Amino acid sequence: MRVVLDTNILISGLMVPSGNPAIIYRAWQERKFTLLTCAEQLDELRATLRKPAVAKRIRPYSAGSLVNKIKDLAEWVEELPPVRRSSDPTDDFLLSLCEAGKAEYLVTGDKSGLPALENHKGTRIVSARAFASLSGP
């Protein structure tokens, strides 16, 4: 299964050791699915981890470990097609990543925007709860 995780899912998986994002994070580490990523997502992840509200809840070691795991374990997608579809233009790269990487799922914690689209090309856009039931223990 090929999956794109919105940055908010990755961050939530570290911040809260229980809950659906944590279940998804563990499932990825157990290689129950292939995580797709790109340079844009890694940039967004690093910027988010530096935000004071996030940085005080996630230890630097855990933040660095997440970045390194993504670099080592995720499948990198280099060439992203232009996509202008999300009501939040900062999320368009996720749709582009899904398209280029042929993702089956895009998992997001957003309440509007991406979920309202329901799908993009061959990718289903789902909540953490919905995906956790597919990939969980």
Digitized pLDDT (tens) for each residue of the chain, 137 residues in all = 999 999 999 999 988 888 999 999 999 999 999 999 999 999 999 999 999 999 999 989 999 999 999 999 999 999 999 999 887 888 999 999 999 999 999 999 988 889 989 999 999 999 999 999 885 55
In CATH, the number for domain 2-135 is 3.40.50.1010
Alpha carbon distance 137, 134 (integer Å): 9
Q: What's the pTM?
A: 0.93
Kindly list the domain boundaries of the chain, sorted by start residue.
2-135
